[in-house]
């Protein structure tokens, strides 16, 4: 029996993780849950799994849940996330919470000897070098949940790192991949949220449309697999069936295929290295028919180059890029800025930043600074 804490349990990854846990009740025990502010949904989840340790980042939401369930252990704020992530009865922490609070919780969990199933890109984007060094120092695995990184992780099982020539991350191209370039500035949030293959939260769906999600994944893959960024490439694959490919030194190409269903990589992370049948939908390649691949157009997807520049600058620059993007996406969803303004805002915030070594404190300060800059940004 593996005992898990799920951070971000009310979000897309968290709810799917709990669906997988429900299918694996003889193997997985949920002992702690954490969310941002949706105390009603968190309450329902905790009741469903018999959980008595819960955390809410929003203090008011935590207070509301304490009044409702005085016998529960209810924690609040970033400290609350760290509290549930370090409980003695937790074996593995599923990190699906957005923002730098996911980084603090991950670091605390590693220091407490917990295995990590990682879905939050911010953790390795903001502080990949220090997080991976800590995991290696403690001898703890970080198993990725992102479909692309899970695919690479699976392809590399039994392979020697020096045999890897390059990693190919696939991208659907998002909801706007066929919209004429001249129409992109006037695209509405409603249109940008109409993803053709995946069902995800609003923020990641917009990141898919800008391809910022792939920019973040390039940085994440660099730290997870120790592959230079120039050997991590992105290819458009509209069918979302091949999740990643690994080209080996001898020219062989390994690939992981599956339906666009996050429950499969979540299940793999929870049970790694075992595989079991939980009656998830299976891929039928005959029904799929054809699989296509193409180079992403840099005019349509400038976020890829922005991400490479952030990683090249190093230090706190990737954290600034990530924070600026989060605010810019939120502003687009509220109608404050246009779609093409998202990447422009991020780039200009990065231009104002001088990177520092990516200590946890420096990352947190850079994150706050970048958010303020992005909130104040105006189109020239």
pLDDT digits (tens, 9 = 90+) for 341-372: 999 999 999 999 999 999 989 999 999 999 99
List the one residue out of 43, 141, 38, 49 whose CA is nearest residue 93: 141
Residue 368 confidence (pLDDT): 95
Mean pLDDT over the full length of the chain: 96
Question: Are residues 208 and 172 in contact, defined by beta-carbon separation less than 8 angstroms?
Answer: yes
Residue 146 confidence (pLDDT): 92
For residue 364, CA distances in Å to 34, 313, 356, 368 come to 20, 18, 12, 6
Residues 111 and 184 in one domain: no
Residues 83 and 204 in one domain: no
Higher-scoring residue by pLDDT: 253, 359: 253
3-state secondary structure of 33: strand
What tokens does 362 get?
């420096």
> Mean pLDDT throughout 314-335?
97
Dihedral in degrees, nearest 10, Cα atoms 173, 176, 177, 180: -160
Residue 325 confidence (pLDDT): 96
379 assigned to some structural domain: no
What tokens does 316 get?
């706190």
For 50, phi and psi rounded to 5 degrees?
Answer: 65, 35
Residues ≥6 apart with Cβ < 8 Å to 361: none
- Any idea what the CATH number is for the domain that residue 73 is in? 3.40.50.720
Domain boundary among 115, 144, 173: 144
Tell me the residue range of the domain where 6 lies.
2-144
Question: How many domains, the chain?
Answer: 2
How many CB atoms neighbour CB 216 within 10 A? 24
117 assigned to some structural domain: yes
337 assigned to some structural domain: no
> Mean pLDDT throughout 207-231?
96
Residue 154 confidence (pLDDT): 97
Residues 93 and 216 in one domain: no
For 77, phi and psi rounded to 5 degrees?
Answer: 75, -175
What is the rounded distance in angstroms from the CA atom of residue 219 to the CA atom of residue 227? 10
Residue 133 confidence (pLDDT): 95
Residue 121 confidence (pLDDT): 86
Residues 169 and 228 in one domain: yes
Does residue 101 register a pLDDT over 90?
A: no
Order of strands, sheet of 253-257, starting from the edge strand that comes earlier in the sequence: 232-236, 164-171, 242-248, 253-257
266 assigned to some structural domain: no
Residue with tokens 């704020």: 77
Does residue 220 register a pLDDT over 80?
A: yes
Residues 167 and 306 in one domain: yes
Residue 98 confidence (pLDDT): 75
47 assigned to some structural domain: yes
List the one residue out of 147, 132, 160 whose CA is nearest residue 217: 147
Q: Which helix (H) or strand (E) holds 330?
A: helix 317-333
Dihedral in degrees, nearest 10, Cα atoms 199, 204, 210, 212: -140
> Mean pLDDT throughout 198-227?
92
Residue 360 confidence (pLDDT): 87
Question: Are residues 156 and 221 in contact, defined by beta-carbon separation less than 8 angstroms?
Answer: no
What is the rounded distance in angstroms from the CA atom of residue 174 to the CA atom of residue 194? 8
Domain boundary among 144, 170, 188: 144
132 assigned to some structural domain: yes
pLDDT digits (tens, 9 = 90+) for 261-297: 999 999 999 999 999 999 999 999 999 999 999 999 9
Residues ≥6 apart with Cβ < 8 Å to 172: 195, 196, 197, 198, 208, 236, 237, 238, 240
Residues 59 and 97 in one domain: yes
What tokens does 117 get?
């199933």
Residues 307 and 166 in one domain: yes
Residues 90 and 64 in one domain: yes
Question: Are residues 132 and 224 in contact, defined by beta-carbon separation less than 8 angstroms?
Answer: yes
Cis peptide preceding 273, ω within 30 of 0:
yes
368 assigned to some structural domain: no
What is the rounded distance in angstroms from the CA atom of residue 297 to the CA atom of residue 299? 5
Domain boundary among 114, 144, 174: 144
Residues 48 and 75 in one domain: yes
> Mean pLDDT throughout 326-355?
98
Residues 214 and 78 in one domain: no
Residues 178 and 235 in one domain: yes
157 assigned to some structural domain: no
What is the rounded distance in angstroms from the CA atom of residue 55 to the CA atom of residue 97? 12
Model confidence band, residue 380 (pLDDT cutoffs 50, 70, 90): confident
Question: Are residues 343 and 212 in contact, defined by beta-carbon separation less than 8 angstroms?
Answer: yes
What tokens does 243 get?
């999740």
Residue 54 confidence (pLDDT): 98
> Mean pLDDT throughout 93-110?
90
> Mean pLDDT throughout 32-41?
97
What is the rounded distance in angstroms from the CA atom of residue 29 to the CA atom of residue 21? 7
Residues 232 and 104 in one domain: no
């Amino acid at each position: 029996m593996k005992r898990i804490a799920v951070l971000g349990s009310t979000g897309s990854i968290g709810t799917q993780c709990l669906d997988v846990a429900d299918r694996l009740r003889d193997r997985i025990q949920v002992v702690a849950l954490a969310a941002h502010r949706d105390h009603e949904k968190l309450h329902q989840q905790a009741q469903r799994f018999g959980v008595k340790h819960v955390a809410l980042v929003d203090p008011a939401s935590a207070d509301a849940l304490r009044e409702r369930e005085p016998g529960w252990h209810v924690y609040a704020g970033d400290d609350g996330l760290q509290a549930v992530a370090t409980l003695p009865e937790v074996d593995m922490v599923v990190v699906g919470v957005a923002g730098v609070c996911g980084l603090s919780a991950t670091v605390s969990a590693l220091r407490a000897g917990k295995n990590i199933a990682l879905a939050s890109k911010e953790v390795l984007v903001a502080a990949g070098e220090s997080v991976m060094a800590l995991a290696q120092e403690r001898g703890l695995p970080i198993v990725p949940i992102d479909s692309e990184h899970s695919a690479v992780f699976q392809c590399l099982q039994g392979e020697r790192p020096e045999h890897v020539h390059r990693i190919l991350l696939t991208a659907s191209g998002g909801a706007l991949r066929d919209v004429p370039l001249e129409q992109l500035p006037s695209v509405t949030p409603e249109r940008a949220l109409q993803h053709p293959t995946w069902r995800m939260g609003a923020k990641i769906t917009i990141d898919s449309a800008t391809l910022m999600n792939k920019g973040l994944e390039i940085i994440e893959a660099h730290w997870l697999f120790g592959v230079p960024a120039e050997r991590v490439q992105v290819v458009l694959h509209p069918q979302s069936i091949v999740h990643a490919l690994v080209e080996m030194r001898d020219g062989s190409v390994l690939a992981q295929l599956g339906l666009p269903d996050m429950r499969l990589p979540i299940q793999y992370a929870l049970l790694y290295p075992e595989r079991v049948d939980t009656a998830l939908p299976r891929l039928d390649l005959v029904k799929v028919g054809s699989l296509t691949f193409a180079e992403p157009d840099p005019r349509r997807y400038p976020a890829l180059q922005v991400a490479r520049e952030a990683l090249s600058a190093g230090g706190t620059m990737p954290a600034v890029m990530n924070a600026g993007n989060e605010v810019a996406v939120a502003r687009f969803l509220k109608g404050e800025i246009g779609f093409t303004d998202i990447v422009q805002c991020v780039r200009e915030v990065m231009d104002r930043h001088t990177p520092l070594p990516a200590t946890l404190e420096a990352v947190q300060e850079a994150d706050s600074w970048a958010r303020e800059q992005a909130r104040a940004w105006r189109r020239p």
